Amino acid sequence: MNNIVAIAQKELKSYFASPIAYIVIGFSAILFGWFFINLLYYFDRMAMQAAGGMGGPQAVNVNETLIAPLFMNVSVILLFTLPLITMRTYSEEKRSGTIELLLTSPLTDAQIVLGKFFGCLILYAAMLGVTVVHMGILFAFGNPEWRPVLTGYLGLLLMGGCFLSMGLFISSLTKNQIVAGMITFAVFLMFWVINWISSFTSPTTQAVLNYLSITEHLNDFTRGVLDTKHLVYYVSFIAFSLFLTVRSVDSERWRG
C-alpha cells in the first residue's frame, strides 16, 4: 500500500509541477461555470413561466431542471480534459527513459498501475471539488434535494474513473503524448456516442449499445437512483482497463 501511495504522490507532484493540473482544473471550472449560469437562467425562466400558470413556481424541480442536465454536461468536459491527464502517464516515462528505472524498481506492475491511477483520480476529484462551490450556491438560495447531488457526483467520479483507466492503458501503448491524447479522445467519444444509432437497430442491438454507452449509466445517478447494474458496469470497466494496463506494463518489462 505504501508503494501505491508513493507512486500516486509522485504523479500528483508531476502534474502540479507542470501547467497540466492548472489548465485542466481552470478549463473545467470555466466550462462548468458557463453551463451553470446558462442552466440557471433557463431554470429561472421556467420558474417564472410556471408562476404565471396554475402550478406555481414549485412545479419546477431544481434537481430535474438544473442539476441533472448540469451533471450530464460535465461528461462533455471530461471528453476534453481527461485525455490531458492520462496522455503523459506512460508516454512521458517512455520518451524520457525513466520507464526503465520504474520497471527495475522493487515495485510490482499492479502497484505501478494503481499508483498512477489513483494519482490521476485524485487530480480529477480536485477538478470536481471546484464545482462544489456552485452546488453550495444552490443550497444557500434554493431547496434542492441532496441525494441526487451526492449520487450525481458519485456517478461522475465513476465515469471519470472509467475514462482515466482506459486512458492509462492507451498511454502505455505509445511513446508519443499527442498520439496517446488523440486516441484517448477518440475512444472516449466512441463510448459517449455509441448509443446514438440504437434507435435504428434491432431491440437486442439497441439494448447492447445502450448498455455499452458510458453516459447512459449516468442518468439514474443524476436522479438519485443507485442501481447495481450501473455500479457493476463502471467498476467492471475500470477493473478491466486496469488489468489491460498491467498486462501492457508487464510486456514492456519483458521487452526491456
Interval 203-216: pLDDT, tens = 888 888 888 888 88
> Which region, left, alpha or beta, applies to residue 145 given φ > 0 means left and ψ of -120 to 50 means alpha?
beta
Please say if the pLDDT value at position 98 is more than 80.
no
Please write the tens of the pLDDT for every residue from 40-64: 888 878 777 766 655 544 557 788 8
Task: Compute the average pLDDT of residues 121-149.
Answer: 88
Ranked by mean pLDDT, which of 91-95, 122-126, 144-148, 213-217 comes out on top? 122-126
Unique residue bearing C-alpha cell 471528453: 79
Distances (CA, A) of 114 to 2, 31, 100, 238: 12, 29, 18, 11
Q: % helix / strand / coil in the chain, to the nearest 5?
A: 80, 0, 20
Which secondary-structure segment (H or E) carries 36?
A: helix 20-51
Say which residues have a Cβ less than 8 Å from residue 12's Cβ, sequence separation at least 6: 119, 122, 123
Alpha-carbon distance values, 250 to 80, 170, 255 (Å): 29, 14, 9
- The Cα–Cα gap between 204 and 220 comes to 21
Domain that holds residue 100: 2-255
* Region 220-243 average pLDDT: 92
Residue 142 has pLDDT above 80, yes or no: no
How many other C-beta atoms lie within 10 A of the C-beta of residue 194?
Answer: 18
- Span 29-47, average pLDDT: 87
Query: What is the C-alpha separation between 31 and 135, in angstroms, rounded?
Result: 15
Structural domain count, the chain: 1
Which residue type occupies 84? L
Give the pTM. 0.88
Percentage of the chain exceeding pLDDT 90 = 29
Find the length of the chain: 256
Residue 138 has pLDDT above 60, yes or no: yes
- Residue 39, C-alpha cell as written in the block: 442552466
Mean pLDDT of 13-25: 87
Work out the mean pLDDT of the chain and round it to a whole number: 84
- Interval 178-201: pLDDT, tens: 888 899 999 998 888 887 777 677
Strand residue runs (E) in 117-210: none
- How far apart CA 167 and CA 191 sit, in angstroms, is 13
Question: How far apart are the C-alpha atoms of 162 and 73, rounded to whole Å?
Answer: 17
CA distances 78 to 20, 127, 143, 151, Å, are 14, 10, 28, 18
